[in-house]
Structure 1
Amino acid sequence: MKIAVTGATGFIGKYVLAELSRYPVEVIALVRDISTAQLTDFSGKVIQCDLAQFSSQIFEEIDHPDSLIHLAWSGLPNYKSLHHFEEELPRQYAFLSTLIRSGLPSLVIAGTCFEYGMICGELSEIMLPQPSNPYGHAKNTLRCHLEYLQTEVPFSLAWARLFYLYGEGQSPKSLFSQLRESVNQHKTTFGMSEGEQLRDYLHVSQVAQSLVKLAMSADNPGIINVCSGKPVSVRRLVEQWIKENGWNIQLNLGYYPYPNYEPIAFWGDARKLENIQDNQKRRSQKAGAKSRTRSS
């Protein structure tokens, strides 16, 4: 099996490449600029690929992958920028539709929990999306475009709605990175909001595992929440990070206001993801049992 990855040098992309290395698959890392790409410990193929400038032969140029894990998206973390639907959306659809019409059979795309909009509580895939910022709107619109394309060109689509991630290598603007940087600078306090908002956090390595399994199954699952399914307050999570790492820093709660582009409390319904993973595990066990029977 041959799997290509866009955004391979990004935060999630590097974890996805590491996860793919555990499987007997051929991996193709697609990067915007091959001269500056830093992919240490990666033994697969690296191909330069710019979503803003690609040829009609792009599927052949990236060596006909069986599946694409699509993580590339520019303009983040400015969720309110009109760039997301004025520039990024059309180039994303042009790129992906060209690949699909050229024969790409399976596509896994990183969506976002912001597609749900300002809805509090548990968020399920069956809910009607109500994005309230340009980023969420652009992502959701891209999904709609691709679902319409499926009516003309059959292909497997896994739309992985990601919630909140954390881990080493994250953007310097992320909560985890800012906390760690404050510790490294020997600051005694860390300014944050009151921290009572409820969120759904998942370590990036677990997100990578889910994305890879979706790419290898090609079952056309549609929308899937990639999340823990367990709400946690931001304050509790930060306190947990401090404890786990043995950091000596106090929280300055209420230093920042709550962001106005997300609801105060929301988390994902993870049951669909768990069912998919359980079914994959059963199929794998069944295939292993058949293999042992034949060999005996």
Structure 2
Amino acid sequence: MKVLVTGATGFVGRHLVAALLARGCEVRAVARNAQTAQGMPWIKDVEFVAADIHAADLNVSALTAGIDALAHLAWPGLPNYRALFHFEHNLMADYRFIKSAVEAGVKQVLVTGTCFEYGMQSGPLSETTEPRPSNPYGLAKHTLHLFLQNLQQERPFTLQWARLFYLHGAGQNPNSLLAALDRAIDAAEPSFNMSAGEQLRDFLSIEKAAGYLAAIVQKPHFNGAINCASGQAVSVRSLVEQRLRERGATIELNLGHYPYPSHEPLAFWAVTERLQQLLGEP
């Protein structure tokens, strides 16, 4: 199976490429920055193409030639979830690219969505939960999903919409919680500023998430939305304390220093029955 991966050098992309290669897939990896790609451990094992998939002069037919599936991860501008460019630019640029790929003959498309499509709804969230996005990023992703579902009516193709929850691991945004904690530990800081930490979230290591995404790609008959998550509700404080134990570190947690974020509910996590059934997990 030959897979075209966009955003191949991003946080998720770099791990998905590795996971696909480990599963015996051929990979055509696409990213804008060739220099960044040269630093990837898999660069000699893939066909790398330096390209901006939003460029007006992009030859999509050439880019997708010989491809069995498109894994579309590229999405500029994260983690600024509230910026208007998500729907002012990314939404239509992504739609045009994916439509062009389908018109060029791609029959299977996996796109990474987001838990923010569910908006401010609390508790366990399943794929049957009606999306109610409340920030521009979630709105743009949900709208792209709707656009592509309508495109399917005109030009049939398999659409695998994988909603990502909270991922962590190598390559994560340096401003993310665990990356900031690791820096504080490395610098032997006496304390670490954070929220009260009682938020319940669904956390998943990037390696496991990439493995799930690669497995979904290899299920070409699956069409629809699927939560890519752990299915477990874990408090932010518990996650931080677990990392401290893993690293054998002692640091005072300055709980309540930051307010809870206003763009997400206090407690929500994924229902992962569909994922478990698809992948044959208990």
Q: Deviations over 1:177-212 (max 9, x none)?
A: 000011111101110000001000000111101111
Change (3 A) 1:238 1:27: same
Higher gyration radius (CA): 1
The worse-fitting range, judged by mean Cα deviation, of 198-207 and 14-23 is 14-23
2:72 aligned with 1:100, yes or no? Answer: no
2:224 maps to 222
2:270 aligned with 1:265, yes or no? Answer: no
1:135 maps to 137
2:2 maps to 2
1:13 maps to 13
Q: Distance in 1 between matches of 2:20 and 2:56?
A: 25
Q: Distance in 2 between matches of 1:106 and 1:277?
A: 18
Q: Deviations over 1:228-281 (max 9, x none)?
A: 1110100011100110121221211000000000000000000000000018x9
SS of aligned partner of 1:230? coil
Is 2:64–2:101's contact at 8 Å kept on the other side of the alignment? no
The worse-fitting range, judged by mean Cα deviation, of 115-124 and 49-58 is 49-58
1:60 is displaced (CA, Å) by 2.0
2:213 aligned with 1:211, yes or no? Answer: yes
2:147 maps to 145
1:28 maps to 28
Q: Deviations over 1:136-191 (max 9, x none)?
A: 00000000000000001111111000000111221101111000011111101110
Q: Distance in 1 between matches of 2:50 and 2:221?
A: 29
2:62 aligned with 1:41, yes or no? Answer: no
SS of aligned partner of 2:154? coil
2:97 aligned with 1:91, yes or no? Answer: no
Change (3 A) 1:271 1:72: same
1:246 maps to 248
Amino acid across the alignment from 1:75: G
* Runs of at least 5 residues in structure 2 that lack an aligned partner in the other structure: none
1:39 is displaced (CA, Å) by 1.9
User: 1:163-242 to 2 correspondence within 5 Å?
Assistant: 163-242=165-244
Q: Distance in 1 between matches of 2:191 and 2:108?
A: 47
1:62 is displaced (CA, Å) by 4.0
Change (3 A) 1:195 1:142: same
Considering only aligned residues, what root-mean-square deviation do their CA atoms show, in Å?
1.5
SS of aligned partner of 2:34? coil
What is the number of residues matched between the two proteins? 280
Q: Distance in 1 between matches of 2:183 and 2:241?
A: 15
The percent identity for this pair of structures is 44
Q: Distance in 2 between matches of 1:67 and 1:54?
A: 22
* Runs of at least 5 residues in structure 1 that lack an aligned partner in the other structure: 282-296
SS of aligned partner of 1:21? helix
Q: Distance in 2 between matches of 1:159 and 1:108?
A: 6
SS of aligned partner of 2:70? strand
Is 1:157–1:218's contact at 8 Å kept on the other side of the alignment? no
Q: Distance in 2 between matches of 1:76 and 1:61?
A: 25
SS of aligned partner of 1:158? strand
Is 2:64–2:104's contact at 8 Å kept on the other side of the alignment? no
1:56 is displaced (CA, Å) by 6.2
Is 2:9–2:36's contact at 8 Å kept on the other side of the alignment? no
2:124 maps to 122
1:285 maps to none
Is 1:7–1:13's contact at 8 Å kept on the other side of the alignment? yes
